[in-house]
Amino acid sequence: MSWSIGIDLGGTNIAIGLVDGSCKIVDREIAKTRAPRSAESLVETMALSVRELLERNLLDLSDLDAMGIGLPGLVDQKTGLMIEAPNLHLDHIDFISLMGRHFPQTRIRVGNDGDCAVWGEYLAGEASSFESALLLTLGTGLGGGFVCEGRIFRGATGLGIEPGHIAIEAEGGPLCTCGRRGCLEMYVSIRGLNRLIQEGLQGDLPSSLRYSIKKDNPSGNIKAFFDSVRSHDLPALQILDRYTGFMAAGIRTLTLLYRPHIILFGGGISQAGSILLESLRKALDSSKSGDYILSLPPVAISRLGNDAGIIGAAMLHREGTSVR
């Protein structure tokens, strides 16, 4: 049996999984990220969790094929450096070298967390029967990755794609964390949907949503919003149509750029499931049929959820090989 370790370093939690050769997580550890803190401290926490996993499963380091870390920021694949991770308040960190101090004989890989998630779905999830897949993670921000024919697409520079920062408005729009305006992330992320909710409730139409929205609970507001949609609250339905309209605009651009065989959605907003997909498909269906320039792929919810990033990180060493 072959074994690998996958680590998903998030802004809130560090998820560590022991993954077998069939891309299944057989055991896991969860630790708090507790950012901001030093990269060295983060790696100490990761290393401790890895050793606990191995000890619990009666494994030695020599039993590991590899270890992979999914990082929430810009990763230079040529150097292995995490260039920046704003949510962790870290930049230019060599996690491979830091982790190598604890596991000097282990093959270690790093990648952007969006790349790891789409790689996991490609190997063992919703995209496992497709030759290419684009994943969009609808969380606090908008991340994602693209896989084509057994390789993660990272562009000529090796820095990967940033779907959240394609422009869907040429002028104006809310200010994005990247310092620019008009970015897709500011319309379809949790932050973006909260803003659309606030704007949609400024009218005179009665809505139960007004009494359940809290400014200090953006993630909790998403559940309340979709509960209102399910109860056919008119302002909520109008907000959803506007939200998926922005999402459809982004998908049309991304489809023309990457021509994926399938588009998947992960992250907190994707937990709305079919109610989100139905509205999105309606917005996408506005494209004329038989359009050879814009032939839209199917859209679906990620099957693996948060496990995709762990599996993808653990299997980074398999990229470019005959993995399926």
Rounded-to-integer distance, Cα 95 and Cα 289, Å: 48
> Could you read off the pLDDT of 82-116 as tens digits, one per residue?
998 887 899 999 999 999 999 999 999 999 999 99
The CATH class, in words, for 128-301 is alpha beta
Write out residues in the chain with pLDDT < 50, as ranges.
none
pLDDT at 32: 94
Token couple for 296: 């839209």
Domains 3-122+306-318 and 128-301 share a fold: yes
H-only helix segments in the chain: 39-56, 95-102, 113-124, 185-188, 190-200, 218-230, 234-258, 274-284, 307-314
- The CATH classification number of 3-122+306-318 equals 3.30.420.40
Domain parsing of the chain, residue ranges: 3-122+306-318, 128-301
pLDDT at 291: 67
Residues 6+ apart with CB under 8 A from 280: 244, 247, 248, 251, 299
pLDDT at 177: 80
Q: What is the model's pTM?
A: 0.90
> Could you read off the pLDDT of 53-74 as tens digits, one per residue?
999 999 999 999 999 999 988 8
pLDDT at 322: 59
